[in-house]
Each structure stands twice: as structure tokens, then as C-alpha cells.
Structure 1
């Protein structure tokens, strides 16, 4: 009879482990969503890039945490011989814990979809910022003075102008 009790409790343990992994993934996803929102806000409000590095570092730490949860999930799925947590829950016997875990799985899937959109928006903002910086660096490095340009305090002789003096050389 102990074997029967053990087998009866085993599906509950598997369901509980799957639910715990889903909960950890969901909670980490919420933290990541908040960090991405903060990063987007910083990118939109800060033209100097102040705070972007710190926000990106915080997001990186959370993504590493999510990767560890993913490793635990992969190990659990390998031991359970299933492809996904949804498959584990589908194979579990009906119980209140299973129903809560299935609800959490659907919420986690919605969260992942929203997070992908949010990350894409943040990546777009980062690309715009990078383009903005590259434009200004190129402007400073590539702009050649026109024929009428004379550096501050300089004579503006024609020989200086034909050398290709950069417009911003004197002010850097």
C-alpha cells in the first residue's frame, strides 16, 4: 500500500513543481516588464543617455535570473520526459492546483507576448539613440568647413580653408 500512496502523491508533486516553475517565470517576467518600462522611460526622457547604463544592467541581471529559471525548467522537463510545462500539466490528473497552474500558464503566455512587444519597442529606442549618437559623431568628424568659414580668432586664410579643416576642430 505505501507504493500506491507514493504513486498517488507523485502526480501532485509533479504538478506542484510545474506550478512553482511557472510562478517563478511569471514573477520574473513581471520584474522584467517593469525594468523594460523604466528603460524605455529613461530612453525617452534622457537625451544625454544618463541612467541608460544602469537600467540596462538591471535588466541584464533579471534576464540572467530568467535564464536560470529556464535551466531549471529544462531539467524538470527532461526528467518528466515532456516538451513543455503545458504538456506536464495536461498529463496531470485534475485538481485545483492543476487548474491554477493552467491559468498561470495562460497568463505567462500573455505576459511573454506583451514582453516581446515591449522589448522590441525598447530595442527600437536604443537603435534610434545609437543612430542619433552616430549622426553627431559623424557630424563632428566629417564636416568640412565651407569657403566662408573662419575659426574663432583665426584669419580664415584661403590656404587654411583648402586644407580641409574640420568645422568643429577648434572648439573640441
Structure 2
């Protein structure tokens, strides 16, 4: 297994689909993800929180409430252009003894969004990196940093990705709890 660093997000110019950028020492792995997951990962990388929990914040809260800890996220397989991952979770009792170890099937994007929040490592199987990875020097050499992305502390963010689309500041009706975030 390779330990990877979550370097950020990039958006395909052709399709508009966001991808998360994972790097190991010499390789880059791009995994296409949904817009909601991209927003969640970006907010976590930037240390931003909404007034109400998003799905990945809720999962972090559930883990904590159940005395469970996400130990790692492992991207272990690629099949038909689909990546497969699992979460390694430990549940502990009040004396902090491990009472259960779980391996939970997950989409890589969800696993990464949670991993960023809890600070656990992300691993990629070597054969997955060999099959789907790019050489880091090639990838970063092809990237036009001036036009495509903004680099801040070696984390790449989609330039036109607007987190404000999740704010619901215009909704003053406190009783309406359907939709939006507060």
C-alpha cells in the first residue's frame, strides 16, 4: 500500500467533472468525484464549517458518538474505471479498549471527505496506482497553474468552485427546515 497525500481538487475543462488529486512520492492519482463531494472535501481542506453539519460532518459526529475512530481509508481496486475503497474503523468501549474492528465499503470520495476531517491516512494499493496513476512530473508539468487552478500551500483548488452555493443566507424563515443549510 502507498500512503497518499490529498493535494486538492481540479476540474476537467472538457467535462466539468471535478477530480480529487492524490499524490505519492512519484505518482499522481486523479479520481473523478461528484460536485457535492468536491465541495465537502474543499471545505474540509480549507478548515471551513457550515452552521449545520453536512453529510461527512454527520458521519464524523456519529463515529465520535459511538466511540469509534476512522483509522484509515484504503483505495484497493479499480474495475471498469470505478475505484473501490473501504474505511477501517475501530470501535472502543468506555475504558478505551478496542471492542470491534470494521471494514466498511465506501466510495473513495466519501472516504476522502471523512479522512480530511478526522486526519487519518489514505492508502492506495500499488496495483491501482500502476494501473490508473500518472507520473507526478508529467502531471504537474502539464498543469497550467496560471489558468486552471490556484495553488495555496501546495493544495490545488478549483478556481471557480463557489462554496457560497451551499449558504442559505437569503432564507429568513426559521420555521422552514426543508432544504438549505442553517
Whose helix fraction is larger, Structure 1's or Structure 2's?
Answer: 1
Whose strand fraction is larger, Structure 1's or Structure 2's?
Answer: 2
**Pair member with larger Rg:** 1
TM-score with structure 1 length normalisation? 0.24
TM-score with structure 2 length normalisation? 0.23
